[in-house]
Amino acid sequence: MHSLEGVTRTDQYRALGLSTFAFTVCFAVWTIFSIIGVKIKGELGLSDTQFGLLVATPILTGSVSRIFLGIWTEQFGGRIMFPLQMLLTAVCVWLLTSVHTYEVFLLAALGLGLAGGSFIIGVAYVSQWFEKEKQGTALGVFGAGNVGAAVTNFVAPFLVVAVGWEGTARVYAIVLAVVAVLFYLLSKDDPSQAERKKTGAKVVSAAEQLAPLKNLQVWRFATYYFFVFGAFVALASFLPRYYTGAYGLELTTAGVFAGLYSLPGSVFRALGGWMSDKWGARSVMYFTFIVSLLCLFLLSYPETSYTVSGIEGPIEFNFGLGVVAFVSVTVVLGFVMSLGKAAVYKHIPVYYPYHVGAVGGLVGMIGGLGGFFLPIAFGVLLDWTGVWTAPFMLLFIIVAVSTVWMHVAIRRMERKRHPELQGERDLSDLPDEPVEGPDRPASADKYP
C-alpha cells in the first residue's frame, strides 16, 4: 500500500472536496440529454427508440473511456487528468449548439460523454489519499457526486425555459471549463505521484495494471455495478420522459420528480461507504438487491383492471400506482442503489490497492455500459409493447438474476473455505465453528 507519511487531514479533505465537486459538475453535464433531449426529440420528431439512443450515447463514451482514463490516471495523476478531461468535454458541449441533424447529434453526444469518465479519475485520485479503513467512506462521499444528475433534473428544465436548450448547453460548458481551471490551481499531486516524482520510479505499464482483470471476481463486481450504477444513470435519463408520457406532466414537473429519484441515489452513497466499512460490503449488497426487487415489482406492475365473477355479479378490482406513490417508490429505489454503488467500490482499493485505476475502470465501464444499453432497451420495449412499465420489468429480471448469482457465488466460496462441509445440506449457514455447550465440550470434533 502507498505511504501516507506527511499527508495531513487538510490535504485529504482538500482532495476529497475538490474531486467531489468536480465530479458533481461532470455528472450534471453527462446527463444533460435527459432534459434537453426532450426538446430535441420534439424538434426532430424522434421515436422512443431514437430518443433512447440519443440519451444513451454519452453514456457509451463515458463508460468505455473509463478503463483508459483509469490507467492514465494511475500513470500521470488525477491532478493532470481531471482538468484535461473537463476542458475537452467543455469544448464538446459548446459545439453541441451548432448541430441540427439527428446523426450529428449522436456524434456530438459521443464527445459530451467524456464527462462520465471523470468518475474513475476521481476514484483513482481520492483512494490514494486515505487509509484502507477509511477508503469506503471517502469513496462514498466522492461518489455522492452522482447528485449532478439531480442538479440537471432540478435546474436544467428552468434553464431551458429561460434561455432555450442551446443556451443551457453553453452555460454547462462554461461552468465545466471554470471548474477545470480551479481544480488544477487548488489541488495537489496525490501521494503516489509525489513519491514517484521524488524517487524517480518508473510509471507502471498498462499491461501490469490490466493483469488483475483476468480474475473472475473483478467481473462479478462489474456485473453488480451494471445495475446499481448503470440502471441509475438509465433511470435518471428516462424518468423525465416517463413522467411526461405516462402521467402527462409538464417537463419542469417531470424534471423535479426525476430529481427526487436522483437525489437519494447520489447523496446517500457516502452512507453506503460508511455502512460497508462498518458491516461489510456483502451485507449492503444483499440489502440493496432485496429492496430493489420489491420496489421494481411495484414499479413494473402496469395499471390493471380485474373482473371477478361474484355471487351477486361481476366484481371489479383496479391496481395502479398514482404519481405520488410512484415517485415515493423511486425515491426508495434510488436510496438503496446509492448504498449498492458504494458497496461495490469498497472492494476495489482493498483487494487491488495497486490497480485501482484499471480494476475500477473496468467495473465502471461495465456499469456505464448499463447506462448505455438500458435506455435503448427502454425505448425498444416501449415501442414494442406499448406498456409504460415495461422498462421496470426488465430491471426486475436483471436484479433477480444478479441476486441469485451473487448468493450462489458466496455459498461456493463459503464451502471452499469449509471443505469438510461440502456434503452438508441441513445447515442454513456456515459458521466458523460450532457453538460450545454443556453437551458438546470444546475438545469434541468440530464437525461430526
Degrees (nearest 5) of the Cα angle 336, 70, 123? 40
Kindly report the CATH class assigned to 9-192+205-417: mainly alpha
CA–CA separation, 337 vs 228, rounded Å? 5
Positions in the chain short of pLDDT 70: 1-3, 200-214, 216, 265-266, 347, 350-351, 353-358, 413-448
Residue-level pLDDT at 345 = 77
Residue-level pLDDT at 320 = 74
Distances (CA, A) of 258 to 2, 55, 97, 240, 295: 41, 15, 25, 6, 16
Residue-level pLDDT at 448 = 34
Residue-level pLDDT at 443 = 44
pTM assigned to the model: 0.66
Residue 14 in grid coordinates: 482538500
In the three-class reduction of DSSP (H, G, I as helix; E, B as strand; rest coil), residue 440 is classed as strand
In the chain, domain spans: 9-192+205-417
DSSP string, 287-305: HHHHHHHHHHHHHHS--EE
By the 10 Å C-beta count (0-12 exposed, 13-18 middle, 19+ buried), 428 is classed as exposed
Residue-level pLDDT at 447 = 33
Interhelix angle 33-44/251-262, rounded to 10 degrees, is: 150
Q: Pick the closest to residue 40 from 232, 140, 141, 168 (CA basis).
A: 168
**Structural contact between residues 284 and 355, judged by C-beta atoms closer than 8 angstroms:** no
CA–CA separation, 181 vs 422, rounded Å? 58
Residue-level pLDDT at 67 = 79
DSSP string, 310-330: ETTEEEEEEE---HHHHHHHH
Q: Pick the closest to residue 304 from 387, 391, 420, 196 (CA basis).
A: 387
